[in-house]
A and B are shown apart, each in its own frame.
Chain A
């Protein structure tokens, strides 16, 4: 009987393997590559590894590394190690987890005594591959499992992973690759990106259908839902009532600030519950403690950000709450999946709107779930910084010949179109410093040996490279430390830079007073109670609304189809949506498909033109300044641009420039000359300068922030910004500057989609309506602009006044 051993493990536990698991095992056993699409917590790990575990159990005395399991989450390697040890207990088969936290001693032991199963992260894999001994280690490898591929493939980490895969396939002749991913829009593409050029694989689909239903928190009659707002604390009461002692709830927010505020508020109203806070800025020890308690169910409620989106299942979680909008269909599915499941049972997500337009997003979300319209993933391509790092890593393993190396790396999807010329330019950068004719005397990194192979110049350089392997570059962060005592976590540098000594802010669930900001550390002490005012917010990862949802929101204004069945209180929602559309129609006009709507009104601040392409915040962020600069090209104008997920506001002291915009619409939104106009419109150099930090770090140009920094390195410290300035002044065509610029256009503005949006705007006419006061759609834009200029009290007052006028009109 095939898979006898693993099947009996299942039987002993009282389970039956799912059909998709059997299918996956069969495919592994017959040496096929595959991508398993499967929600978290439905046995994906055993689906991917079962066949190999069965084989190991059948031949318990076999030696050598057979299975490599790569996961993007460092914390998960430990959990997986325990999970895979279970079916292997009682045998001599060894499972080893290796990640950035592994001690030097354990690291060395990997090469001395090869485990049969190795769990690691892409970065640690890259470090392992930098060792000359790794060819022995991987010689007998049979199966590589890449977990959370949907997450990895969207980032440069995925690119690094796929470069490592090419090397692994070279080191071991009979390896197959299995990817695991959440449900994807285009699984075939995900498989193509995973596999080397020319290889084919199969899609293995888990048909475990989990019905996600949505319940929307209704506001009481005495507290109307505001027209704009991000916090949502007006619904604190119904949300706090939904929390039940002993029934673990995960409450997701979109920003860290939101998490802090909700944590604080819930802790006060529900003192009977044990509530914890979890977000990416907190110290890792604090986070791990919360995660452990979540697993054991010792906690009633965790207020979390997307830092908890991925990872192993928390069996104890029974309820999911989402504050605001999840902003994308995939994220909602991901978050809903964090709750435990019994077969055949669905998950209900409690949605808590923080403003009325969220209701439209919820309706759109439900529609998208019905039609399984997930957001597409666009994997990065031709990342030269990642390739530079990888080329050096490979030179550490064994000196390489350029022709062999070119063959190897162009097997990876991201580099499948790379030309020999580009590769040659990279080689010149690595050996001479630049591919331009500029002088870089004394430059040393890689050198060509007499036999035509490339190798590293010194052991010191090798050591330095090993220490800086990796592609995750967080945005500039500043450590928050108590004056007496330990570290609390990290906040964005831009936020820390705005604080003055004596300022009070909320972090890690505490009220803190700034003592000083020095040497990259924000020193704080507990704030006394007499200090009342707090610095209101720091950004903490703003999530843009996905294009899938943004475009669907339009149809909510003229909804003809009934609302999705998965909305539990759809009648209430239908009524609320109708009201919103009616008010929007009364004050202005409603969005419709096929036309771009716009509104004009005049306030004390000046003349406003609000345009609603519904293309999402990333695109609007580029589109707004682009339009403004094209207007300014025709007439002198001082325009203030504000954008959100639905639209763009242009504010002008005179009416003239806004007339130009609507009169010359097709040339203001033309898709021609996009890139050159965009460079003029945006302060691109400042943005590229910021992005260059990541590029410089990945390609090994700067060394920073690793523990126990050697003294000799201090003279080598410089900021990426400075390096950027010098390069752009004296060698502006440097390959890595180009890379940083492309990254900015792609990641910060989504230039590919911007082009598509412009093409459709060109085709559509614009319908402008003169209105007397800001409409429900315009209001969030007006508020966002004000919040960057005025103090919070004033906004609150203004907001209240404007909202009152709506309600009076309704």
Chain B
């Protein structure tokens, strides 16, 4: 866990790619992309199912570990709602509905026509942006002036040494007002920031490292 100050609030950046606000027992995450692997497999691209199972397990674990009362998903809850199967929905429902947590979602660009699916999983659908303690919650980043927590970008940070390279997901604060959450799913890429491009909190295996600048 790494202490992260943003918008006059204190958070913890967690290695499971969630952002934790202890005072209000609220957990933030974005870009879950449920059903992404299955969508690829249907198209003949072999993506092991273990990657999605691991995503879902991490999601449950984050909630039980923090005993969060409220969970915000900032967009792209699903990857491609049109290809969601009944079996998948049942599996997700049985996992999520028993957690007894309040789920809120702001729909992202992948969540087209996803409202019924989100509701069926126990999520309330909130507008973009939603004000929360003086901070805007949204899926998309913007060029505005208010503090905003957003997803969509899937930020990563790249470290380079002579012939070696390390790329890892990160929390990134840009221009002191925009906090970009890492993609929660392990099956996603994203733009690579150089350590000086933003205030990046790299996630390296089980740790969140101190910010890069």
Contacts and interface: CB of A to CB of B under 8 A. Distances in A.
15 contacts: A433-B47, A439-B50, A440-B41, A443-B44, A444-B44, A461-B43, A701-B45, A701-B46, A715-B110, A718-B187, A718-B189, A722-B189, A727-B46, A729-B51, A730-B48
A441 interface: yes
A438 interface: yes
Contacts, number: 85
Interface string B35-54: 00011111111111111001
B141 to A, nearest CB: 15
B186 interface: yes
A441 B49 contact: yes
Interface of A: 429, 433-434, 438-445, 457, 461, 464, 640, 683, 686, 700-702, 715-716, 718-719, 721-723, 726-727, 729-731, 734, 788
B163 interface: yes
**Most chain-B CB neighbours within 10 Å: which of A434, A441, A701?**
A441
A461 B44 contact: yes
A461 B42 CA distance: 10
B104 interface: no
A702 B45 contact: yes
**Top 7 closest A-B pairs, CB basis?**
A445-B44, A433-B46, A730-B48, A730-B50, A443-B41, A439-B49, A715-B80
Contact of B46 (A443, A461, A788): A443
A439 B189 contact: no
Interface string B126-162: 0000000000000000000000000000000000001
Contacts of A444: 41-44
B66 interface: no
A464 B42 CA distance: 13
Contacts of A734: 46
B93 interface: no
Contacts of A686: 164-165
Given A438-B50, A721-B189, A716 B45 contact: yes
Contacts of B189: 718-719, 721-722
Contacts of B50: 438-439, 730-731
Contact of A683 (B44, B47, B49, B164): B164
A594 B66 CA distance: 69
Given A716-B39, A716-B40, A723 B165 contact: no
Q: Which of B45, B186, B187 has the most CB of A within 10 A?
A: B45
B43 A441 contact: no
Q: Which of A464, A700, A723 has the largest number of chain B CB atoms within 10 A?
A: A723
Given A434-B46, A722-B189, 18 more contacts: A433-B48, A438-B49, A438-B50, A439-B49, A440-B48, A442-B38, A686-B165, A701-B45, A702-B45, A715-B79, A716-B39, A716-B43, A718-B40, A718-B189, A721-B189, A723-B47, A726-B51, A730-B54
A792 B7 CA distance: 45
A784 to B, nearest CB: 13
Contact of B188 (A433, A715, A722, A730): A722
B85 interface: yes
A442 B45 contact: no
A438 B48 contact: yes
A737 to B, nearest CB: 11
Contacts of A722: 187-189
B48 A731 contact: yes
Contacts of B38: 441-442
Contacts of B45: 701-702, 716, 718, 723
A442 to B, nearest CB: 5
Contacts of B41: 433, 440-444
A700 B45 CA distance: 8
A702 B43 CA distance: 10
Q: Could you tell me the dominant secondary structure of chain A's interface residues?
A: loop
A644 to B, nearest CB: 16
B52 to A, nearest CB: 10
Nearest to A715: B80
Nearest to B164: A683
A721 B54 CA distance: 19
B39 A715 contact: yes
A183 B79 CA distance: 55
A648 to B, nearest CB: 15
Contacts of B164: 683, 686
A674 to B, nearest CB: 20
Contacts of A442: 38, 41-42, 85
B75 to A, nearest CB: 15
A443 B188 CA distance: 19
A734 B110 CA distance: 30
B38 to A, nearest CB: 5
B143 to A, nearest CB: 16
Contacts of B79: 715
Contacts of B48: 433-434, 438-440, 726-727, 730-731
A287 to B, nearest CB: 32
A132 to B, nearest CB: 20
Contacts of A457: 44
Which among B38, B48, B164 has the greatest number of chain A C-beta atoms within 10 A? B48
Contacts of A716: 39-40, 43, 45
Most-contacted residue by chain A among B38, B43, B162, B163 (CB, 10 A): B43
A715 B43 CA distance: 11
Contact of A726 (B39, B42, B47): B47
B50 to A, nearest CB: 4
A701 B38 CA distance: 14
A705 B5 CA distance: 41
Contacts of A429: 46
Nearest to B35: A442
Contacts of A726: 47-48, 51, 186-187
A686 B43 CA distance: 27
A441 B47 CA distance: 9
A574 B85 CA distance: 78
Contacts of A701: 45-46
A467 to B, nearest CB: 13
Contacts of B39: 715-716
A697 to B, nearest CB: 12
A588 B47 CA distance: 57
A701 B40 CA distance: 9
A398 B85 CA distance: 31
Interface string B6-47: 000000000000000000000000000000001111111111
A718 B163 CA distance: 25
Nearest to A441: B49
A217 to B, nearest CB: 36
Interface centre among A443, A683, A731 (most CB of B within 10 A): A443
A573 to B, nearest CB: 37
A435 B104 CA distance: 40
A457 B164 CA distance: 42
Contacts of A715: 39, 79-80, 110
Contacts of A443: 41-42, 44, 46
A716 B82 CA distance: 13
A320 B54 CA distance: 61
A683 B50 CA distance: 26
Nearest to A701: B45
Contacts of A438: 48-50
A723 B110 CA distance: 20
Nearest to A439: B49
A354 to B, nearest CB: 26
A438 B49 CA distance: 8
Interface string B161-186: 01111000000000000000000001
A108 to B, nearest CB: 26
B171 to A, nearest CB: 20
B197 to A, nearest CB: 11
B162 to A, nearest CB: 8
A244 to B, nearest CB: 46
A439 B188 CA distance: 19
Nearest to B38: A442
Nearest to B83: A715
Interface string B186-207: 1111000000000000000000
